[in-house]
Chains A and B, each alone.
Chain A
Amino acid sequence: MLIIERMIIDILLNFTSIEQLNTFMAQPRNVAIIVGALVAIAAALPGVFLLLRKMALTSDAISHTVLLGIVVAFMIMVGLGANPDLNSPLLLIGAAAAGVVTVMLTEAIYRSGLVKADAALGLAFPFLFALAIILISHYVDNVHLDEDAVLVGEIGVAYANINVHCYEQCDSITITPDDARAEFGRRCTNCSAGGLSPRDPEAEFETYCINCGTHTAAEAWRERLIDSPPVQVRWPRAITTMGLIALVNIIFITLFYKELKLVSFDEALAGALGFRPTVLHYTLMILVSLTAVAAFDAVGSILVVAFFIIPVATAYLLTDRLSLIIILSPIFGIAGVYWGYDLARGYFWGLPLDGVLQWLDSIIELNGYTTWNTSISAAMVLMLAAIFVVVWMMSPRYGLIATIINRRLRRLQFEDQMLLVHLYNHLGGEREAEELALETLHQHLQWPRMKLERVLARVRLRQLAKIQHGQVYITQAGIEAVRNFAEQNLPVEHQEQIIRAVGD
C-alpha cells in the first residue's frame, strides 16, 4: 500500500512541489471532494450493471452486510493481537466474503422454494446487519467503529488520516555520547532505592546522556538535532484506498465490457455462448462489496447505496447508449459530491442557507435552529438526488416535462384520429345522416359535448373535416391523415385494407 502511495506521489511531484501538495492535502475540502469523487467513480461503474440487471437493491443489501465482514475482521485482528486498522487488507477480504455470503444466503433462501425473492432479500440482510450491530455494541469498543460512523462515515476528517512519506533529510539520527550534539545530565543512583533526598550527602550521582539513541527524522527536527526539517508529504490514506478500488472497477469494466453487456441483456444467451454468467455475477458482487467496504470509511454503510444507484439512474434518463451511461454516471456522481460538500457547509448551489434560516426565523419561530450544520456524506447524497430530480424534470427524451407534453400531444392526436375515423367509416354508409349529424355526433362517440367541440375545432383548423348543413364530413386531407395513422399504428393486414379502400 505504502509503495503504491509513494508511486502516486512521485508522479504528482512531477507537476507540483511538495509544499503545494501538502498545502492542498491539508484542506479538508479538497480531500473530502477527492475522496468523494473517487467513491462516486468506483460505485457508479458496477452500479450501471446492477441497475441494468434490476439488482439495485442487492447493493443495498450488500452495503449493509459488509459491516458484518468488517466487524468480524476487526475481531479477528484484535484476537490476533494486531492493531485494528480500517485500511487493513483483511478488512477487504472480510467484506468481500460478507458480500458473497449475502448474495448466497439470499439465493439459498429463495432457492428453497419456500420464500419469494423479495422476502428472501428482505430477510437476509437485516439479519446479517443485526448481527454486526450486536457484535459492535458488545465486543468492539473501538473509537473507529461506532454506530455513527456506520451511518454517515467520516469523509470530513479524511484529511487528518494520513501516511507520511519522507523525501529529504529522512535518515534517522543516532546520537552517541561522543557526538557533538549529545547532551548530558546528572542523576542520583541510590535516591529512590535508599529513600534519600538528592541533597543528602550520601547521595551518589552519575553522568548520563539525555538525548542518546536513535531518533526519526521528525523527532530529530523537533529536538533541533538537525538544521532543516525533513521534507515530507502528508498523504491522506483514503485517497489511495478509494483510488485503487476505482481503478480496479475501471479495469474490470473495460476488460469485460462486452461480456457484462451481454450478460445483463440476455443471461441465457451469454451462458450458451460460454461466458459463464455466474462467474461474472459473483465477480460483480465482489466488486460491489469491495467498493462498499472501501467507501464505508468515507460515507458509511448505508449512504453508499446512493452512489451506486442515483447517478446511474440519472444517466439512464438521458441516454440509451450503455457506453454513454458508463461515462455520464461517474460525472453526475462527482458533481453531486462537489455540490454536496458546499451544501454541508451551508450553500445550496450558491444559496447561503444560514441566511435562509435566519430569514425563516424572523417569520416563524425556529427555536434557535438558525445555523446550518449537517453531515457531509448525507449532503452529498442529497445533491445526487437533487441532480436526479433536475434531470428527471428536464431530460429532453425521458424527462417528466417532456413526457407530459408528449403524452398530451399524442392524446390530442389520438382524439383527432378517433373523430376522423368515425367520420371516415360512416361516410357514404347507410346511417350516414344519423351518425354524422353535428347535433348528435358526440353521443355516437360517447364523448362529452365540450370535448367533441374542442376536437372538432382542432380538426377543422387543420382542414381535415368540414361542416356542411349540420353534418360533419371528412376532407381529402383528413382521409390522408387516417391513412397515415393506420399505416403507423394498425396491424399490416388492416393497413392494406384501409389503404386499398382509400385508394379506390
Chain B
Amino acid sequence: MTEQGKSCNWALEINDLTVAYNSKPALWDVDLRVPEGVLLAIVGPNGAGKSTLIKATLDLIPRAAGSIRIYGKPYRQARNLVGYVPQRGSVDWDFPTSVLDVTMMGLYGKIGWFKRPGKKERELAMSALEQVGIAHLAHRQISQLSGGQQQRTFLARALVQDAQVYFMDEPFAAVDAVTERAIVNILKELRERGKTVIVVHHDLQTVRDYFDWVALLNVEMVAVGTVYEAFTNDNLRKTYGGRIAGIGAASGAIDVTSTRDSAEYAEVGDAV
C-alpha cells in the first residue's frame, strides 16, 4: 500500500488514538506525526492526557481505538527502537540497588532471558553515566541521590538503550537548574545524532528554547507542528482556555495563572 510506504518517513505516527478510563475519554481521536530528528514537547494542562499518550504509545495501557507506528512498524516489533524515561516519582528510590545497576537495566532487553549483565554491559552503562555527568556516582546507592541525579540516572538508562525514538515523561520536573541545562544539552545532542525525542513538558516558558516541535494536547490534539507554527497565542488559548494571562507569543513569556482543576483526572492517574 502506498500508505505504508509513506508512513515510513515518520519516526512516530499515531492515528485516531482514543484511550478511555471507565469509558471516559482520556485521549480522544488523537493524531500525531513526528518526523525523524526532532525534539518534540507535548504540553497541555494537568489531566490533558500527556502521560497517557506516552503510555498508550508504549502499550502500557490498553487503547480503545487507533493505531501506532514507529518507523512504520507497530510498537511490538519496534521495541528495540524505543527508549523510555518514566516519571521519576513512579519508582521507590529506597530500592536496594546502585546507580550503575539501574543504568544497566536499560540493557536487560538486549541481554535476553536468563543471562546476567557482564563486563561489556558495565562499560556501556559507565559511558552513558559519563555522558550524563554522574559517572563518579556509579556505585552509589540510589536513595542517596538528589532529584537531579535521579533524573540523570534515568536518562542514562534510556541512553544505553541506544534507541531511535525516546519518550520522556516530565524529565524536568523538580530538578535543579544545572541538571535541567545538562538534560537539554543531552537532548540536543541526541537530535544531532538523528534521534527523535518526545518529551512531556509542563513549563511553557522554556518550550521555545528547548524544543523545535510542539504538540498541544488537551484530551484532543489542539495543534502539532514546529514551535513557530503551532506555539501560538491562539492555540495556547484553545489548549488552556482563558487561564493564561499576558500571552506574548513573540517573547514566549507566558504565565500560567492557574491550572485545570483535576480532581477527577487525578483519580484516573491513580488508576494507571
Residue numbers of A with Cβ under 8 A of B are: 116, 407, 410-411, 413-414, 418, 421-422, 425, 444-447, 489-494, 497
Contacts and interface: CB of A to CB of B under 8 A. Distances in A.
Contacts of A445: 16, 65
Interface residues of B, number: 25
Interface in B39-68: 45, 48, 64-67
A414 to B, nearest CB: 4
B29 A414 contact: no
Contacts of A492: 241
A490 B28 CA distance: 8
Interface stretch (B17-25, B123-131, B157-165): B17-25
Given A414-B23, A492-B241, 20 more contacts: A407-B22, A411-B23, A413-B23, A418-B29, A418-B64, A422-B16, A422-B29, A425-B29, A447-B65, A489-B25, A490-B219, A491-B45, A491-B260, A493-B218, A493-B237, A493-B239, A493-B241, A494-B219, A494-B220, A497-B238
22 contacts: A407-B22, A410-B23, A413-B23, A414-B23, A414-B25, A418-B18, A418-B64, A418-B65, A422-B16, A422-B29, A444-B16, A445-B16, A445-B65, A446-B67, A447-B65, A489-B24, A490-B219, A491-B48, A491-B218, A491-B260, A493-B238, A494-B220
Contacts of A447: 65
Of listed B24, B65, B238, residue having the most chain A CB within 10 A: B65
Nearest to A488: B24
Nearest to A485: B25
A187 to B, nearest CB: 85
A410 B22 CA distance: 8
Contacts of B260: 491
Contacts of A421: 28-29
B50 to A, nearest CB: 13
B110 to A, nearest CB: 30
Contact of B64 (A414, A444, A493, A497): A414
Specify the main secondary structure of chain A where it touches its partner. Answer: helix
Contacts of B66: 446
A490 B220 contact: yes
Nearest to A410: B23
A285 to B, nearest CB: 28
A469 B67 CA distance: 28
A491 B65 contact: no
Nearest to A444: B16
A489 B18 CA distance: 13
A76 B80 CA distance: 69
Given A421-B29, A446-B16, A497-B238, A407 B23 contact: yes
A411 B94 CA distance: 40
Nearest to B15: A446
